[in-house]
Amino acid sequence: MTPYILIKQGDFDLMDTETQTRVTDWLAKADLRPTRQRLALASLLVGDGQDRHVTAESLHAASQSSEDAVSLATVYNTLRAFCDAGLVQEVTVDGSKSYFDTRTDDHPHFYWEDEMRLTDAPADQLEILRLPEAPEGTEVSKVDVVIRLRRR
C-alpha cells in the first residue's frame, strides 16, 4: 500500500510549508479552487511529491483513516474534476476497474492481476511500430498500454 500524508480536518495550516506549497501549486496549475475536500484529497495524492496509482475506493479508505474524511461520492467527483483538469489520468484495466495516475505523461503500465495493482512499466522498453489508421473523420487522441501480469 502506498503511504499517504494525512491532514486533520480544517488543519491545512499544520502541514509543513513544502507540502502546502506542493498541494496548492498542483491545484493552481489547473485553476481549481482549493476547497477543503480538494486539499484533503490532493494532499493524499501528491502531498509527498511521489507519483501513485489509486482507485477511488483506496483513496476513500485513505481519507477515512484521517480526520479529514470525505464521502466516496466526493472522492469520485473530485477525481473526475482532477482528470478533467489534467492533474491525473484515468487508466481503465477492465470495464469496471479504473485507476487514477498522478503521472500524466504518456507511459505504459503493468497491471498485476493477482494483486489487483497498477504500476508504471518501463517506457524505454516499449516499441509501437505502427497503429491502424483511424476511421475517417477521427484521429487518435491517445494510446493506452496496459500489460497484464500474473504469477506462473
**Residue 97 grid coordinates:** 476497474
Does domain 12-149 bear CATH number 1.10.10.10? yes
Domain boundaries, the chain: 12-149
Distance CA 87, CA 82 (A): 5
The structure's pTM equals 0.84
In the chain, which ranges are continuous DSSP H helix?
17-28, 36-46, 56-64, 72-84
- Dihedral sign from CA coordinates of 103, 107, 73, 63: negative
Task: Count other C-beta atoms under 10 Å from residue 139's C-beta.
Answer: 6
What string of pLDDT tens digits covers the 152 residues of the chain?
333 344 444 445 456 788 889 999 999 999 999 999 999 999 999 999 999 999 999 999 999 987 778 999 999 999 999 999 999 999 999 877 899 999 999 999 999 999 999 999 999 999 999 999 999 999 999 899 999 999 99
